[in-house]
Structures are given as C-alpha cells and as structure tokens.
Structure 1
Amino acid sequence: MTVPPDLAPEITVVAEPASTTVAIRGQVTIYSLSAVQTQLANLPEGPDVSLDLTQVTRLDTAGAWLVTTLREKITARGAGFEVRGLAPEAQSFLDSVEKAMPHPEAASAERKTLADLVAGIGAAVVGGVSLLLSLLGYFGMFLARLARAFRHPREFRLTALVHHCEEVGLKAVPIVALMAFLIGVVLAFQGASQLRQFGAEVFVVDLIAVSILRELGILLTSIIVAGRTASAFTAAIGSMKMREEIDAMRTLGLDPGMTLFVPRILALLLMLPILGLIADIAGLFGGALMAWVELGISPAMFRTRLVEGTDVSHFLAGVIKAPVFALIIGVIGCRSGMQVQSNAESLGQMTSKAVVMAIFSVIVADAAFSIFFAQIGF
C-alpha cells in the first residue's frame, strides 16, 4: 500500500548504550502501518526502548495494535519498554486495545504427583458410577411408564410403536441379513481351511452352527442396531431438546417418558429378537453355501449334521441375550438424547458417545453372558 506523503510519519531513532529512544511524528494509522513496521524492525536488541509519541497527531486501532505488539516483542526478550507523550484519551484508547488483544492460555501443568493420580482415578470411578446410576434411573422410568401403559391403555402410543418397529426392525433387515450371510461364508471358508488339515471337514457345520447361533448372530446384529438405532434415538430426542419441544410437551401435560421412551425401547425389545433370528438363518445359509462350494457338503448333509450335532441350547443362549441388548441400546440412546444441550456441537458429541457407549456395553454384556453360561453349564 502506498502511503500518501502527508500521512507518512517521521521516525527518529536515537541509540544509546543504556537505552534506545524512538520518536514518532505524524499519524500512526492503518495507512502508515507497513512503513512504521519496516522502520522499527531493526531496533537494537540489547537496551531498553522508550517510545516517544508526543508529536503523534493521530492514533487509530492499527497504530495501537502496533504499539502493543512492539511492547510484547521488547519485553519478551527481557528489555524494558516505555511509552511517553500520549494524551490521556489516546492512552485510554491504547489500554483498551491492549486488553482486547488475545493472550494464549497457559498450559496446565501435567499431573505428576501420586495424589493427583489417585484423584484422577477417583474422579473417573465417580463419573462411571454416576453414569451407571443415571442409566438405571432411565431404565426404571421405562419400566414405570410401561406399567402405567398397562393400567391406562389409552395413554399408550400404538402408532408410534408401529413406526419405530418399522424404523428399528424392518429397515434393518437388509444390512443384518447381508452381514450375517457374509459372516457365515467367512466362518465356513476359514473353518474348512483349518479342519481340512486334520480330515475333519464335516465338523465345520458344528463350528458354523455354534458360532452363529450362540454368539455372532445376535452380537453382530446388536452392534449394527446399536450403531444405527442408538444414534437415531439420540439425534431425534436431542433435536427435540434443542428446539425446546420437550419443554413444550411438559407444558401441554404430555409425559416425555411415555411419549418418547416407551415406544422406542419397546420397539427394540420386540424387533431385536426377530433380527437375531433373521441373522441366524442368513448366517447358516451362507455357511451352508460355502461348505457346499468349498468342501462338497451337500445341503441335505449340512441340515442333517446341523440337527444331529447342534443342541437347541445354543439357539436359546443367543435368544436370551436379545432383550437385554435391546434394553441396553434403547436406554443409552434415550438417555443420551436427554443430555443434549442447546447447541449443535452438543448434539454431535452425544450422538457419538451414544454409539460408542452402546456398542461397548453390548460387548461387555455379551462377555458377562458367556461367563455366566459357562459357569452354569448352559
């Protein structure tokens, strides 16, 4: 930017061993900012600096920013800095600009002591217990509202239940069936590769049946449902929370627990066992197809071996888990939606947390079921 001659300031630098005096005459504005910066860039680094602004006729925000940054630069290297000659009004303006300058926050010191470590662990434990109690509270709210719906059937939202059954169950059938089919294919292929070494190819049927019926069918189905349904519940309820629709519902005398929670969680309770059954059938079909292609085990032989070598307890072990997983996913999704604050960032954070928490909780619950069934011999 070319500075008009009448706006170009005059800068005099007097360097002495003890200090350097910089006198500016004229206007220090945005028009002359570049020229002043260029002339002040080569100030001696050793002594203190005294900035004489007695003959400055005009100082705008850009000029005040220049003075402030020059002060920070000089003081950062350990030298003194002094501003002289400013009128009271200009000094007040300079102080306001200096206060408005952004200052980086000091980095917090790392926890190094044992007490800090113990305090962090204690805070994490308290947070986990609080979260568990909150989830139990929402689970109790669901049971209370469900019991109330049995006593007062007119308050139950049948249309909402049918809608959520479609969203949770019917629309999830393609992805669940495809996933289970591919898992069956992979299990049969990998099992055939290993069992062929021992001449025990026929036992691949048992491997597929036990893995799909007992564990993988319902577990992977629950993980998929947790990813798509927990996030959907959190996003829907959280959006209503952001728009204050839930407060409006309370004002109208509508119970959010009865209106929002019961249809969603009950739809999961009804549809997840059905999705698990579909996953079991698709997984067995994929395994049978791969066993036929890879090992030459005909569908009739596969069916015979499946009936003779697989106990019904494996199927029941998977079915028993489905309602528990459904409750976990539904309660976490609804609870996370109610924790959303009045901003979009909070909605995104809680949606992500709901998915992670639901998947993690389902896996932990499945591990607990496996240990429990092993202990009782089921």
Structure 2
Amino acid sequence: MTTPRVLHGRILTATGWVRGNIEFDQRVRRIRATHDDADGGDGPLILPGFIDLHVHGGAGVDLMQGGDVARTVARTHARHGTTALLGTTMTAHEDDIVQALHGLADAIAIRTPDMARVLGVHLEGPYISLERLGAQPPLAIEATMAQVRRLHAVAPIRVLTLAPEVGQHLALIPQLVALGIRVQLGHSAGSYEDGVAALQAGASGFTHLFNGMTGLDHYRPGIAAAALAHAEYAELIPDLQHVHPGAIRTALRAIPRLYCVTDATAATGMPDGEYALGSQRVHKCLGCVRLGTGSLAGSALTMDQALRNLVSLGLDLADASDRLSRYPADYLDLHDRGRLQAEAWADLVVLDPQLQVQRVFVEGDEIALA
C-alpha cells in the first residue's frame, strides 16, 4: 500500500481555509487542522488544482494536429497548476475534426503521471455563425445529430458550442443534453430572445463571454445580455485583453458561477512568433495572440496567471480559486474534483505568497515543473 504524502500549509478546503496538514495518495485521505508552527510560519498556500474547460494547445502544438500532441498540451498546462482540462477543437471539415478527436481519445483513455487529466472534448465549432467567427475559419455548418453522434463516438464530447439562431439548432439542444453534453452559446449573432430560448431548451453555458457574440445594447440586447440576465454558469477569459476589467466585474456580479478558462493556443509557453491555430496562423507578440488581421485569436494565458489576474482585480483568493476549480468541476457535475476534501482526487497546486506555482499534483502524482 502506498504511504500517503503529507503537505503542511494554509489549505483551501471545501469549507474554507485550514492551517494544517493534508494527507493524500491518489485521493485526499485526510485534512487535519494543526497549530504547529515548527515549519516557521503558515507555510505555502495549497489550493485545488485548476480545471480548464477551453484549451486549444500549448508548447508550440495545436490539438487539431491530432496524434500525440494532446499529451504535450496536457503536460504543458499541468506545469502551471492545471490538473484537468477539456481539449478544444476548431471549426474545420469533419475529417480534420475526427483526426483531432482520435488524438484526444488516446489521451482521455490513458493519463501518464506527467500530465493533466484530459476529461473530454469541448467541440467549439463547426456549429457557429458565419457572422461571428472570431478567430475560427469560415467553415461553419449547421449541426445534425447524426454528425454529433459520429464525433461523440470517437471521443467523448463534454461541452459543445453552438449559435442558437442557426437553422434548427434550438430544436437540437434537448437532444444534445440527453447525450450528456453541456451546450454552450457562442460565436453567435443571435438576439437576447435567442439566448433565452436556448437556455429554456437546456443550454447551460456561454463560450468566452462577451467575445464572439452580440453584446449589451440597451435597445437590442444580445447573447451576452441573456447571459448576464439569466445564466448560472458562463466561461470568461481573464487575460485582461479579451475582456475589460469593468466588464469582468459586471459579469462577476451578474453570473453566480462565472468560471474562467484560458482559450490557450499553441503559443502558450512559447516565445513571440508565428503558430498554428487549427488551419490558420496566429502571431504572438508581447503576450497577445492575434490573426494577421489584428483580431484576437485565443490566448497565451495559463491558469496560474489567470488566478493572479483575478486577485489583481480585487477578488479574494478563495473566490478566485472557486472560479478556476470548483465552478468548472460543478459545471461538468464532477463532485470529486475542484475541491479539497476527503476522497476527492488529489489534484493540488502549491503556491508561494506571491501566488507563484511551487508544486503540482495530479491524482497524487507530482508534476516536474522544469
């Protein structure tokens, strides 16, 4: 039997902060409060590992390449505290999406000790609006259940982005939900009414809130307005480039379980230069990723930087942590991830007082940071 590891510090448990010890193997076995200051103080900060539900790439590779690149991406993000993620596709022809899903299926089936857990797929396109492509190529199509089932059979789709105003998408939402897929609204030119109707049909989230969707005009409110008025969950990119801090604060007040994603591309963890994003080329410069037209095209964000950005906006650390761990886990109905409590998976990130990553554990395996 494996001897449990023991870490001491300030631990963010499912019920609040505890100064003490956390014992774990693959799962958390015990959290014990202690007043032992023999280590010279409160020790490091121990948080639940981050869960990123929107990841396209990292370390110079893009998930649409297929093959074993998903493992490279999962290793890269694990070094920044991400312990679980969804591999995210781009709008493309079906054969190209299938190629990406085959690569993801292998990484989903078997996690090696040096990588984050790949929980499944976020299918971001091709079921989007040609009017709100963002950085997606102009290959959008109307969804059919036959095609979704074919793709779902290759690798499990956990989240699917669609534009609710396109074709018969509204009628498909209950069928998608019945497959166990979370439907998100995004890359949409729809109205507020389209958004509300989609939520009533069973949609449950919004893809990179504010980006790639109609906004908050007070005469003609759009999809973002439907999110602010009605959503329980929505994802947002907190790189402070995609969304103004004032809009982030607005969303925080309006959406109870707003959670954060990176929308990370191949440029994540890499120097300035040119990288792939699906079939397109993007350019990283000064931390920002753009198409040749100058439009934002995903990000180079990591989840540890997302945490620091949220804290810089005034969120307390526990609230910021919830938006990177607990809420995305809850969104996927995962009750043994995203929180530190007995019998949860031992997914931990250890931070110093400046919120820099010191150690990461995925299901009890320590990740080499160098």
Identify the structure with the greater helix proportion.
1
TM-score (norm. length: structure 1): 0.19
Higher relative contact order (Cα pairs below 8 Å, separated by 6+ residues): 2
The structure with the larger Rg is 1
TM-score (norm. length: structure 2): 0.19
Identify the structure with the greater strand proportion.
2
